[in-house]
A and B are shown apart, each in its own frame.
Chain A
Amino acid sequence: MTDPKITDFESALAELDAIVKTLEDGDLSLEKSLELYERGVQLSRFCHSTLEGAERRIEILNERGEIKPAPPALGLDGDPAARK
């Protein structure tokens, strides 16, 4: 089975939910269950890395439409982006 590409967090989470439900409900063959399970593992890994992958950034969009890093005063503790 070729897995469709995992595109975004939201649909990955939804698909993971669906797989859990199918696995719990279903009278699937062992082979089919394993396939689903593998897909579930992929999805869960994707969600994890998406959650961890984002980096913290605070930016200011000014009236000329330019995006600049926020002044340090806005960045609070532990914000490397704003602290520069």
Chain B
Amino acid sequence: MSDLFSQPFEPDDDERAPEPGRGERRVVSVSELTSAIRGLLETGLGDVWVEGEISNCKIWNTGHMYFTLKDRGAQIRAVMYRSAVRYLKFKADDGLHVIARGRIVVYEPKGEYQLLCDHLQPHGLGARQLAFEQLKKKLQAEGLFDAARKRPLPALPGKIGVVTSLDGAAVRDIVNVIGRRHPNVHLVIRPTRVQGDGAGADIAEALRSIARVPGIDVIILARGGGSAEDLIPFNQEPVARAIAASPMPIVTGVGHEIDFTIADFVADLRAPTPSAAAEIVVAAKDELFARIDRQARRMRASMGGQIGRARARVHVLVSRRGLAAVPARLALRGRHAAELTHQLRRAATAGLARRERVFRDLRARLEAREIGRRLAAYHGRLNAAGSRLDAAMRRRHAGASATLGARAARLESLSPLAVLGRGYAVCWNEDHTTIIRSAAAVRPGDRVNVTLLEGSLACDVRSADAAHRSPQPPDQES
């Protein structure tokens, strides 16, 4: 029957057209013909992907959906069974541009063919989704998503590599979070474009180059939230390959809470946002300190416990009467039992004491660490105390200055210059070596010098009367 269709189809022929070749005429029934058509369409075409616009869309109460797919030149009727309709991720509506997957079926009683559609997706997003699914399937088959591939993150990363754009909020979020959780961390940022054409290749190159920096032991790959379109590079194969090939673990913090990208699947760990990625990579410094200190305390406690038990045992042994009795019974070289007991006790307690000393020293060293950390807290208080001390010192200094001022004033009042200021004068001998306090010290004709408040006078003595005494000599002035 297939040769029926292998004839060239010539629309101009009518039924009266003579059979070419032999004059023999082969007549088939409608059923036969339809059956032949059915065979051709159903097995000949197989699965098809067809793109078109939905019209006349209707879901019957059986749950099956009937619609027409059309473009400018043609249309085809389509049906989607309830079992497939259930999995639709969008509402199929008239006017929607879609890609449908299915196969052609022929309904013989009506001589109609239609598309039996088992999958429907919006066009545009659809093409991308298709690529996403295909790549995902391929990488999954290669084992790139396997849990066994996921590596643990370092407890305390030496250097953290960050691959992201410098423009977005992502890089600031990461720097912020890491700075808050562990202030002294070494970040190396490798800027890269994260969207647009070629961004995928850029990201892959950035991942490879940051992995070459010595000391990097974990990498954050991040971008801030974006539309599905913005995340395209993170769904591209080069990025996935670069992540898989990375010698150190990679944590993704890409976009969006809900959408997983291919990069997320391949990464060693997936965080929903850049900040979350940073938090995962850097365990809080305080938590680490707390953990170490907790272990140190437990160690100290069990050591202290063991020493304590040993001490108790020694105590019990040496104070037991039986022990004192033993040497007596043995009567070793005539030594006095008490003396021997004493020696025993000394040896036992000395051994224990030695160990206790070691323990105390070690314990002090251990605690010094924690104290060292507490010191940091005291630092603040110390600073505050320091400034209070400064203020106190300034106050005291001011007080001292005032006292000094008063003293200086008194001193001033004692100064000869102050006396001169009140109108007294000082009389010197000619050589300025001796103050003349008595007229008896000079004779008429001698030369004396008189110092005034301002300047001095050279004077000749005309007469000297030693009998008169001034009522209040200048050197007793107070």
Binding site for B on A (CB under 8 A): 9-10, 13, 16-17, 19-20, 23-24, 28, 30-31, 33-34, 37-38, 40-41, 44-45, 47-48, 50-63, 65, 67, 70, 74-76, 78-79
Contact A24 B302 (CB under 8 A): yes
Is B288 in the interface zone, CB < 8 Å from A?
A: yes
A58 vs B414: C-alpha distance when bound (angstroms): 69
Chain A residues contacting B352 (CB-CB under 8 Å) are 30
Chain A residues contacting B187 (CB-CB under 8 Å) are 57-59, 70
Q: A61-B190, A74-B166 are in contact. List 5 more A-B contacts (CB 8 A).
A: A10-B155, A10-B156, A65-B209, A67-B188, A76-B179
Chain A residues contacting B373 (CB-CB under 8 Å) are 48
Contact A44 B189 (CB under 8 A): no
Q: Which residue of B lies closest to A11 (CB)?
A: B155
Chain A residues contacting B310 (CB-CB under 8 Å) are 30
Q: Which residue of B lies closest to A53 (CB)?
A: B184
Contact B213 A67 (CB under 8 A): yes
Contact A54 B184 (CB under 8 A): yes
A52 vs B171: C-alpha distance when bound (angstroms): 25
Partner of B188, one of A37, A51, A61, A63: A61
Chain A residues contacting B213 (CB-CB under 8 Å) are 61, 67
Contact A51 B288 (CB under 8 A): yes
Partner of B299, one of A9, A10, A20: A20
A63 vs B295: C-alpha distance when bound (angstroms): 45
A17 vs B188: C-alpha distance when bound (angstroms): 31
Chain A residues contacting B161 (CB-CB under 8 Å) are 61
Is B254 in the interface zone, CB < 8 Å from A?
A: no
Chain A residues contacting B293 (CB-CB under 8 Å) are 44
Chain B residues contacting A31 (CB-CB under 8 Å) are 355
A60 vs B191: C-alpha distance when bound (angstroms): 7
**B198-217: contact bitstring with A at CB < 8 Å (1 yes, 0 no)?**
00000000000110110000
Instruction: Pull 8 A–B residue pairs with CB atoms less than 8 Å apart, ordered by A.
Output: A9-B156, A24-B302, A34-B362, A37-B303, A51-B285, A55-B184, A57-B187, A78-B183
CB-CB under 8 A for A44 and B359, given A61-B190, A61-B209, A74-B172: no
**Taking the nearest CB of chain B, how far is it from the CB of A79, in angstroms?**
7
Is B386 in the interface zone, CB < 8 Å from A?
A: no
Chain A residues contacting B302 (CB-CB under 8 Å) are 20, 23-24
Is B369 in the interface zone, CB < 8 Å from A?
A: yes
A50 vs B358: C-alpha distance when bound (angstroms): 25
Is B365 in the interface zone, CB < 8 Å from A?
A: yes
Chain A residues contacting B366 (CB-CB under 8 Å) are 40-41, 44-45
Closest A-B pairs by Cβ, 8 of them? A9-B156, A54-B184, A56-B184, A61-B190, A23-B302, A57-B186, A44-B296, A58-B187
Contact B359 A34 (CB under 8 A): yes
**Taking the nearest CB of chain A, how far is it from the CB of B151, in angstroms?**
13
Chain B residues contacting A47 (CB-CB under 8 Å) are 288, 292
Contact B179 A48 (CB under 8 A): no
Partner of A59, one of B158, B189, B369: B189
**B263-294: contact bitstring with A at CB < 8 Å (1 yes, 0 no)?**
00000000000000000000001001101110
A80 vs B172: C-alpha distance when bound (angstroms): 16
A74 vs B183: C-alpha distance when bound (angstroms): 14
CB-CB under 8 A for A50 and B303, given A20-B298, A56-B184, A60-B191: no
**Taking the nearest CB of chain B, how far is it from the CB of A48, in angstroms?**
5
A55 vs B159: C-alpha distance when bound (angstroms): 11
A28 vs B355: C-alpha distance when bound (angstroms): 14
Contact B296 A9 (CB under 8 A): no
Is B175 in the interface zone, CB < 8 Å from A?
A: yes
Contact B303 A16 (CB under 8 A): no
Partner of A48, one of B186, B189, B292, B299: B292
Is B307 in the interface zone, CB < 8 Å from A?
A: yes
Partner of A70, one of B189, B295, B365: B189
Contact B295 A17 (CB under 8 A): yes
Contact A41 B175 (CB under 8 A): no
**B303-336: contact bitstring with A at CB < 8 Å (1 yes, 0 no)?**
1001100100000000000000000000000000
Contact B155 A30 (CB under 8 A): no
Is B124 in the interface zone, CB < 8 Å from A?
A: no
Chain A residues contacting B179 (CB-CB under 8 Å) are 56, 76, 78-79
Contact A55 B362 (CB under 8 A): no
Is B31 in the interface zone, CB < 8 Å from A?
A: no
Contact B295 A16 (CB under 8 A): yes
**Taking the nearest CB of chain A, how far is it from the CB of B8, in angstroms?**
63
Contact A51 B289 (CB under 8 A): yes
Chain B residues contacting A67 (CB-CB under 8 Å) are 188, 213
Chain A residues contacting B166 (CB-CB under 8 Å) are 74
Contact A23 B299 (CB under 8 A): yes
Chain B residues contacting A76 (CB-CB under 8 Å) are 172, 175-176, 179
Contact A33 B306 (CB under 8 A): yes
Contact A30 B307 (CB under 8 A): yes
